[in-house]
Structure 1
Amino acid sequence: MRFVVTGGGTGGHIYPALAIARGLQDKYPGAEILYVGKTGGLEAGLAARAGLPFQSIPLAGLQRRLAVRNVTAVWQAARGVVRARRILAGFGPDAVVGTGGYVCGPVVLAAALTGIPTLIHEQNALPGVTNRLLSRFVSRVAVTFADAVRYFPRRDRVVLTGLPVRPEILAFSREEARRTLGLPVTGKLVLCFGGSQGARTINGAMAGVLPRFAGRPGVCFIHVTGPAQYDSFMAALSRSGLRAPQSGNISIIPYLYEMPAALAAADLVICRAGAATIAELTVAGLPSVLVPYPHATGNHQEFNARALERQGAAIVIRDAELSGSVLATEVEQLLADERRLQAMAGASKKMGRPGALADITGLIDQLLS
């Protein structure tokens, strides 16, 4: 079997594509998989690290306003379809899978127009422009959130699968995870992070939260600042009179390599609302306080966060409304209300899709039959 996977621009598009590629290799031993991405994009290096052959298409992104650059972008997209048809003709895939980003458009469209079975996967509750346009042509659309279904005109082709998560997310029990992290087996753990680079607004709020809980028995905190913001965060804490290592129940680190263990050990998570993060939270069945990144394309992180909020799995605080006092109050109330915390955990678990990858590869299998 031969497959083309495509998706690019951001890790949010690339990592699902790589996960699906691995799933196809497991499902079809000996399968050949070609990754097609944008020239100069992040995906080239990540595909190489995953051991996948790579071919590129030169493209430019459309601006969300009238701009001369859009003429060039449309011209390159048209040429991209021609380039994609050549790539597909040379490789001869049995199916093509796209996960979003500009490069996904020409590749999936070229495949659909030549009769190759096609599937696109949408990660967010608010679908991207590329996937919304492609949905009119493809064989199937897989979505992460039920809220996304209504944005696609041909709903009979849309299937709720969830987003593939790292298998290690489910590898730890709570007790094993706490032993791995050197934490007490009992008591509450609040985990806070803002992505691999950190989140300045969340860090600013946490500098006001942690002094309120320092030394409190029965609760501990792990706060991940991001490498570039660690020193400034520690300086801010010091000005507040808190020396975290001496407080006993607070751990502040620039980067967390043991994230799967931390998620398994946690009782409450404070974080952004990227699709991959939310997929991991719900698979783990974790209640959360979500602070959507306000500059995400189309404000899609807020749509993601509100999807959890509507199901009772999360509390949403907009970035512009976040402060130390607001966040501390929310955390205080949640930790004091075990029944509410458990209800949120249950709602989160119901939204989780641990079988997402198997469901997606199963859809692809249906397209081949």
Structure 2
Amino acid sequence: MKKIVFTGGGTAGHVTPNIAIINELNKKDWEIHYIGSKAGIEKELIEKIQIPYHSISSGKLRRYLSVENAKDVFKVLKGCLDARKVLKKIKPAVVFSKGGFVSVPVVIAANMMKIPVIIHESDLTPGLANKIALRFSSKIFTSFDETINYLPKEKSTVIGSPIRKDILTGSAVKGRVFLDFTSTKPIITVMGGSLGARKINEVIRENLEELTKTYQIVHLCGKGNIATEYTNNKNYNQLEYVHEELADILAATNLVITRGGSNAIFEFLALKLPMLIIPLSKLQSRGDQILNAKSFTKKGFSLTLEEEELTSQTFLAKLAELEEKQETMKQAMQQYNKHDALTAILEELKKY
């Protein structure tokens, strides 16, 4: 039986593509393990699907000067030792990495042990973790065509984003039943990512009375962000996070308001869901979500509203524009020459 180790974490976006691949691997042929951080969201998500999980030390990679950087150098070094110990015990044929700071020690340790490493970069430009990991990799896959310009071309291939197959099989009827919504009003799904999005949460709630005249709103607002004062509004359903129910919710959805995380927006693209993307600002990130959003908007899949410009007025204006352009967006999505990322990855894994 062949053995494989997956790694990646920090946010759900670094984990759900790994789960999509894991779900497609024949468990009779592959012994699957996961290396992640001790307290990251990846631990919860991977243990839920009953894959052996190995925790390692991990430091946070920062692009700015901080006294914490010195401490984190030692955490990364310890992480390399931890990862080496796990890999030595498992002896995998290959390591598959989705990025995030926890992946760096795993990729370095694997390279030192001559274990092939496959990387998938979701964002339009590589994150710091993957920038470090590139030199230790055997193969690099990307979601965006534009990303090839930032990578060593001899080992890089555009394949799109590995989409969870179950996300494409939802039931709109089951989704409305779960949400306790009717079929008489369109549904907007608001997703701020696994950690939530404070400014998006605020603008939705500030305009809730106006929004619920026309729409039913399902608001995935992040852990600890439920606002109890709105729980009596029958057209507004707040959820911290969903797992199995997400496919049904999206099947019932007409429009999406989202951050610019690559995996999420590629799933909405696969579902032909018109979206308003409100990416993380450069004050909160390296600007990767802004680039992702601009690429999708240029291709006609979405509208973009940058967080610095987010007010009740600009939000309602963009939502009205989204309503007006939704059919045109669906046509553009229909014409998208989508890659079958899952098949490409599975074919690559067969080589090992």
Share of identical aligned residues, percent? 29
1:220 equivalent to 2:225? Answer no
User: Where do 1:253-268 residues align within 5 Å?
Assistant: 253-255=238-240, 257=242, 258-268=245-255
Q: Is the partner of 1:359 in helix, strand or coil?
A: helix
- Aligned partner (choices 342, 345, 349) of residue 327 of structure 2: 342
The letter for the 2-side match of 1:131 is N
User: Where do 1:120-269 residues align within 5 Å?
Assistant: 120-152=119-151, 154-172=152-170, 188-195=186-193, 198-212=196-210, 214-215=212-213, 219-224=214-219, 226=221, 228-231=224-227, 234=230, 244-245=233-234, 250-255=235-240, 257=242, 258-269=245-256
Q: Map Cα deviations across residues 174-224 of structure 1 (whole Å, 9 max, x no partner).
A: 577557766565764433343456433223323454444554xxx533241
Q: Map Cα deviations across residues 122-163 of structure 1 (whole Å, 9 max, x no partner).
A: 2222321121222223111112222322221x1232222233
Corresponding position of 2:117: 118
Corresponding position of 1:22: 23
Gaps of 5+ in 1: 236-242
Corresponding position of 1:307: 295
- Aligned partner (choices 276, 299, 319) of residue 307 of structure 2: 319
Q: Is the partner of 1:34 in helix, strand or coil?
A: strand
The letter for the 2-side match of 1:269 is V
Does structure 2 retain, via aligned residues, the 8 Å contact 1:274–1:304?
yes
Q: Is the partner of 2:89 in helix, strand or coil?
A: helix
Cα distance in 1, alignment partners of residues 107 and 312 from structure 2? 46
Cα distance in 2, alignment partners of residues 298 and 180 from structure 1? 37
Bigger radius of gyration: 1
The letter for the 2-side match of 1:16 is P
Cα distance in 2, alignment partners of residues 267 and 51 from structure 1? 33
Cα distance in 2, alignment partners of residues 256 and 71 from structure 1? 34
Q: 1:91–1:228: structure 2 CA closer, same or farther, 3 Å change rule?
A: closer
Cα distance in 2, alignment partners of residues 93 and 130 from structure 1? 22
Task: State the TM-score, normalizing by the size of structure 1.
Answer: 0.81
Gaps of 5+ in 2: none
Query: What do you get for the CA RMSD once the two structures are aligned?
Result: 3.1
The aligned length equals 347
Q: Is the partner of 1:285 in helix, strand or coil?
A: coil
Task: State the TM-score, normalizing by the size of structure 2.
Answer: 0.84
Q: 1:37–1:205: structure 2 CA closer, same or farther, 3 Å change rule?
A: closer
Cα distance in 2, alignment partners of residues 92 and 145 from structure 1? 32
Corresponding position of 1:6: 7
